[in-house]
Amino acid sequence: MSKISLIIQREYVTRVRKKSFLIISILGPLLFIGIRFAPRLIVASRSEHQRVVVVDETKTLCGVLESNATVNYDYGYCNIDVNSVKKIFADSGHVSVLYIPKTEQIMEVKLFSKSDPGDDVVSSIEYQMNNILEKAKMKAENLDQAMIDKVKSHVKVKDIVNNKIANAGYNAGLGYACSFLIYIFIFLYSMQVMRGVTEEKTNRIVEVIISSVRPFQLMMGKVIGVGLVGLTQFLIWVILGFAVFSVGSSYIQSKEIDPKNALTEQTYKMGAPEQNGSITTVNTSNLDAANDTDDGLDNMLRATNWPLVVGGFLFYFLGGYMLYSALFAAVGSAVDQETETQQFMLPVTMPLILSIVVMGSIITNPHSTVAVWFSIIPLTAPVAMMARIPFGVPIWQLGLSMVLLIAAIFGAVWLAGRIYRVGLLMYGKKVTYKELGKWLFYK
């Protein structure tokens, strides 16, 4: 067995055996799902208790507003003087008093609470009141419901790129998810490389090891070993995430049996896969999902160029990691203790953070100058290019970006190797950038 594979094996095995690896492997997907569903859960749990006592001087809305998940209306005090009602509930935390003063037209109502009931409650009340008042007014003007429905329009833009149904929102979501994963992965595992290097240095085991293997072998062994740990982690996430997702969605499906949805799905399955979202597919989706706001997720999944997205993801995922972990290894070797890494971290992490900062603008405008440059410059390309790929990227830009990234990896590994072999044996010295520069030229 060659020495570098021994090193890779040690780096891999010691990390995968750690408890923290197991915990992150399990918690990771749960966290993602949590982020996805947390807002709904929070809303649902918080608003259950909001009791709204209605005091209605107009006598028009008493008993009309309907309690829902957010607000629970109480009409027991409808005709009592507002000030005495306020006094009754002055000290109740989860009770608000809705006061509708007597006016010609209801323009403003007041909601008295001890603690802020939150936006959801306020907007729920506004929405219901507006709806009810609108309908009342229309009735007064002799407009019937059928007429109103006829007047309302529902225009939807079908975005068709290269004869495939596209969806900017969906592409943005895909791009965002992929780039964000790459960003997290690079950060998480490059830091592990750095920490490992500093650990070996402070442990003072490094001199024994580099009397057996070259510093470069040790560095690359660590980079590759930790990278494999990351890949393993990612695979576990994908498998676990997929399992949880399919269990979850089958649970949801069993709860809301919708014959129209079932039919839609069957139609898609019957359609030949080569059709690639051609006119027929568009038609079926138009027919079946006439007022479907979701726009047929299946359709879009088929429209995405999966080989490109998956290939691009793996390339930028691994390439970005290689580039940054080499640089982080150099940082780790230049200092004596982990706490001293700060001074060299900033320039290394800057491009990465910058690329996540501009990601929003890249996704809203994937072909802007900023987006193009960020996706070509190697230090920002992994995150920036991945955000663009789902929208479609000119082949020359993709090619240039990949070639430059590979070149940058070689450059970074060379640079890091030069700093690393000197840094490992430097103790008790506060290293400056000037010094780092000199190390490059040591024999």
Partner 1 sequence: MGNIITAKNIVKRYSSHVALNDVSFHVPEGIIYGLLGPNGAGKTSMIRIINQITAPDSGEVLFKDEKLTPRHAELIGYLPEERGLYKKMKVGEQALYLARLKGMSKADAEAKLKAWFIKFDIKEWWDKKVEDLSKGMAQKVQFIVTVLHEPKLLILDEPFSGFDPINVEIIKGELHRLKKEGVTIILSTHNMASVEELCDNITLINQSKAVLEGNVNELRHSFKEHNWQVKFKGDDNAVKTALNGKFELLDLTPENNLSVARIKIPEGQNSNNLITALLPSCSIMGFSEILPSMSEIFISAVKRTNPTK
Nearer to partner 1, 139 or 214 (CB): 214
Shortest Cβ 216–partner 1 spacing (Å): 11
Whether the CB-CB separation of 378 and 316 falls below 8 Å is answered with: no
State the residue for tokens 């990390």.
15
Which is closer to partner 1, CB of 8 or CB of 178?
A: 8
State in angstroms the smallest separation of the CB of 443 from partner 1: 5
- Shortest distance in whole angstroms from residue 332 CB to partner 1: 15
Q: What sign does the CA torsion over 286, 292, 296, 300 have? A: positive
Which residue lies nearer to partner 1 by CB, 83 or 211? Answer: 211
Give the separation between CA 8 and CA 221, rounded to whole angstroms: 5
Q: Specify the length of the chain in residues.
A: 443
Torsion of CA 393, 397, 399, 403, to 10 degrees: -140
What single DSSP character describes residue 66? P
DSSP string, 397-412: HHHHHHHHHHHHHHHH
Least gap, CB of 333 to partner 1 (angstroms)? 14
CB-wise, 164 or 421, nearer to partner 1?
421
Q: Which is nearer to partner 1, 111 or 213 (CB)?
A: 213
Q: Which is nearer to partner 1, 321 or 439 (CB)?
A: 439
Smallest separation (angstroms) from partner 1 to the CB of 9: 9
Q: Report helix angle 369-376 to 381-388, nearest 10.
A: 130
Binding site for partner 1 (CB under 8 A): 1, 3, 6-7, 10, 14, 199-200, 203-205, 207-215, 421, 425, 427, 435, 438, 442-443
Nearer to partner 1, 1 or 35 (CB): 1
* Nearer Cβ to partner 1 (6/354): 6
Q: Can you tell me the distance from the alpha carbon of 165 to that of 35, in angstroms, rounded to the nearest whole number? A: 28
CA angle, 265 as apex, 262 and 266 as ends, to 5°? 85
Greatest CA separation for the chain = 94
Query: Is the Cβ–Cβ distance between 18 and 233 less than 8 Å?
Result: no
If one counts every other C-beta atom within 10 angstroms of the C-beta of residue 271, the result is 16
Nearer to partner 1, 210 or 372 (CB): 210
Nearer to partner 1, 215 or 277 (CB): 215
Q: For residue 51, what are its two tokens?
A: 């009791």
Minimal distance, residue 230 CB to partner 1, in Å: 20
Distance in Å, CB of 304 to partner 1, minimum: 44
Residue 269 tokens, joined: 């399955």
- C-alpha to C-alpha distances, 331 to 54, 191, 408, 415, 416, nearest whole angstrom: 64, 10, 17, 11, 8
For the bound state, the minimum distance from the C-beta of residue 10 to partner 1, rounded and expressed in Å, comes to 6
Tell me how far apart the alpha carbons of residues 364 and 161 are, in angstroms, rounded to a whole number. Answer: 17
Q: Using an 8 Å Cβ cutoff, are 424 and 210 in contact?
A: yes
Rounded to a whole number of angstroms, the distance between the first and last alpha carbons of the chain is: 29
Q: Which is nearer to partner 1, 57 or 435 (CB)?
A: 435
Nearest distance from C-beta of residue 14 to partner 1, angstroms: 7
SS3 (DSSP) at 99: strand
Amino acid at 8: I
Whether residue 116 contacts residue 92, with contact meaning beta carbons closer than 8 Å, is answered with no
Report the nearest approach of partner 1 to the CB of residue 436 (Å): 11
- Shortest approach of partner 1 to residue 442 CB, angstroms? 8
